């Protein structure tokens, strides 16, 4: 039988009741100390009918922050806050993974311990500005990580993975996308190292593979996913041969038996901002035999088409799920969708976060 978005799926160790997943969405609504709160728990509980919820990017380290009011997963307070979320989701019958994150150079000294420079594979300043919480500021030139610091970075991901398990998540997703630390190591536009973590493609992929194996040792590979953005240019990212780069790393990950690889497709909006066309889950399917979650501007028809054609096993929805807490039911009924309010995407409080109405309302 040809699957559609409403067909259950065995995703590694978890059985998802449908293939309509919540994409990880930064919403900047953690409480002081970057601690998740009751409001976050209610937001995710409302969306528990998704086959899998992938919670927002969550820092594994004090050096991993680059935005205000984003959550962490490295203190007991973080664990307790996230436990409210997982209990709410599980109480509503849902499944939830946590996305493990380190922003690398996409930060500012205002977010760093003791006002230090952000860290990165190489001392290359990104173009653009960062919102500091009070206004915009230019990115600064990051400090290149020393070779002997890299085991400590891996250890931060391991600690975050263990903390996520303590918080009651069903698994974790490694954030290797969107111009953040692991993506910076992988792509040759941001990695100019001359040690074993730079230069050749094999060396640039080394940190991704080591972090993934280390996190899999905590959770079991079948409860670990990984997200890439092969065609993306967000956060001033470039690679000279992205199909080769991401094809290689997916081929190396394939034998590990991960729960999934999460790969956005390139949309017209991405191309308008300079992204390369034609590098997404469809083009990378040949390099990865495991489950692929596709993402990027899908609707009911295009999502079902991706499943029929076999280059996706599930689809993660971002903005539509943000504005429609009961998105699976709405898609099933082909009911009208609420329209999202972009002015509230990164605001504070419940507006645009927990107040979108369900169909019954």
Task: Give strand ranges (E) for 60-144.
Answer: 96-101, 119-120, 129-131, 136-138, 143-144
The pair of structure tokens assigned to 91 is: 């109480």
- 180 as an active site residue: the answer is yes
Asked if 124 and 161 count as a contact pair (C-beta separation under 8 A), the reply is no
Q: What does the radius of gyration of the chain's CA atoms come to, in whole angstroms?
A: 19
- Joined together, the tokens standing for residue 61 give 């380290």
As to burial, measured by CB atoms within 10 angstroms (0-12 exposed, 13-18 middle, 19+ buried), residue 181 is buried
Alpha carbon distance 101, 175 (integer Å): 5
Q: Which two tokens stand for residue 211?
A: 């972090």
Active-site hit among 65, 157, 180, 197: 180
Is the C-alpha dihedral spanning 84, 88, 89, 90 positive or negative? Answer: positive
322 contacts: CB under 8 Å, gap ≥ 6: 25, 340, 345, 356
Angle between helices 242-253 and 206-219 (to 10 degrees): 30
Cα-based angle 317, 319, 321 (whole degrees, multiple of 5): 55
Instruction: Report the relative pairing of strands 9-11 and 14-16 from DSSP bridges.
Output: antiparallel
Q: 66 CB contacts (<8 Å, ≥6 apart)?
A: 103, 106, 107, 108, 111, 118, 130
Distance CA 292, CA 272 (A): 25
Residues annotated as catalytic are 180
């Amino acid at each position: 039988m040809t699957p559609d978005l409403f067909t259950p799926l065995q995703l590694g160790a978890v059985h998802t009741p449908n293939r309509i997943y919540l994409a990880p969405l930064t919403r900047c609504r953690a409480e002081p100390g970057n601690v998740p709160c009751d409001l976050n728990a209610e937001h995710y509980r409302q969306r528990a009918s998704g086959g899998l919820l992938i919670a927002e990017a969550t820092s594994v380290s004090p050096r991993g922050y680059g935005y205000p009011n984003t959550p962490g997963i490295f203190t007991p307070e973080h664990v307790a806050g996230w436990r409210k979320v997982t209990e709410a989701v599980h109480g509503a019958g849902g499944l939830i993974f946590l996305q493990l994150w380190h922003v690398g150079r996409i930060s500012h000294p205002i977010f760093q311990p003791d006002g230090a420079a952000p860290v990165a594979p190489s001392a290359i300043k990104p173009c653009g500005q960062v919102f500091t919480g009070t206004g915009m500021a230019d990115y600064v030139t990051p400090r290149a990580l020393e070779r002997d610091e890299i085991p400590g970075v891996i250890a931060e991901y391991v600690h975050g993975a263990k903390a996520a398990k303590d918080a009651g998540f069903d698994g974790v997703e490694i954030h290797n996308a969107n111009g953040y630390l692991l993506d910076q190591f992988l792509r040759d536009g941001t990695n100019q190292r001359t040690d074993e973590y730079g230069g050749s493609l094999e060396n640039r992929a080394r940190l991704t593979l080591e972090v993934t194996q280390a996190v899999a040792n905590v959770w079991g590979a079948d409860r670990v996913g990984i997200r890439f953005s092969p065609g993306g240019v967000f956060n001033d990212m470039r690679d000279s041969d992205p199909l080769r780069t991401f094809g290689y790393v997916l081929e190396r990950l394939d034998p590990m038996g991960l729960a999934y690889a999460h790969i956005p497709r390139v949309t017209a909006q991405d191309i308008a901002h300079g992204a390369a066309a034609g590098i997404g889950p469809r083009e990378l399917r040949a390099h990865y035999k495991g489950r692929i979650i596709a993402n990027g501007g899908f609707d009911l028809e295009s999502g079902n088409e991706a499943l029929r054609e076999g280059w996706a096993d599930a689809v993660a929805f971002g903005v539509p799920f943000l504005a429609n807490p009961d998105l699976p039911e709405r898609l099933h009924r082909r009911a009208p969708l609420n329209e999202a309010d972009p002015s509230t995407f990164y605001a504070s409080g419940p507006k645009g976060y927990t107040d979108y109405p369900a169909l019954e309302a």
